[in-house]
Amino acid sequence: MLWFAGLAAMGVVIGALIVGYALVVMEPNLPSLNALIDYRPKVPLRVFTADHKLIGEFGEERRSLVRFQDLPDQMKKAVLAIEDYPFTITAASISSASCARALPI
């Protein structure tokens, strides 16, 4: 029984080392916390007439911010269903294929 505890402890240590290595490798590629907090999406330049009618938009991306409260419930449920789909078709909660894709090459 003592050998099992040692094996489990070694598994925990190896797992912690793998997670630590992954964080060290990924850290330079992660955005700063300030960049995530101060998110400013690219919005097109909008040209209006004197009476506030939109006459043109210029830009590559057309984004607009929407508050979470303003999203329809159907949209919220659809996003959750898409995100949960891989977990409903497998018994395990961790996808080994997704974990393999996430490993640095």
User: For residue 93, which of 78, 102, 83 has the smallest C-alpha distance?
Assistant: 83
What does the alpha-carbon distance between residue 90 and residue 85 come to, in Å, rounded to a whole number?
A: 9
- Segment 5-29 shows an average pLDDT of 87
Write down the pLDDT at residue 14.
92
Kindly state the helix (H) or strand (E) to which residue 21 belongs, with its residue range. Answer: helix 2-26
- 102 part of a folded domain: no
Q: In terms of residue numbers, what domain contains 70?
A: 2-94
- 38 part of a folded domain: yes
Write down the pLDDT at residue 84.
62
Q: Which of 16-20, 40-44, 89-93 has the lowest mean pLDDT?
A: 89-93
User: For residue 42, which of 63, 57, 58 has the smallest C-alpha distance?
Assistant: 63
What does the alpha-carbon distance between residue 46 and residue 63 come to, in Å, rounded to a whole number?
A: 12
- 36 part of a folded domain: yes
Pairing of the two strands 45-48 and 54-58: antiparallel
Decide if pLDDT at 91 tops 80. no
Specify the number of domains making up the chain.
Answer: 1
pLDDT tens profile 19-59:
888 888 888 888 888 888 887 878 888 899 999 999 998 88
Decide if pLDDT at 4 tops 90. no
Decide if pLDDT at 87 tops 70. no
Residue 46, SS3?
Answer: strand
Write down the pLDDT at residue 92.
56
- 105 part of a folded domain: no
Residue 68, SS3?
Answer: helix
Write down the pLDDT at residue 76.
86
pTM: 0.35
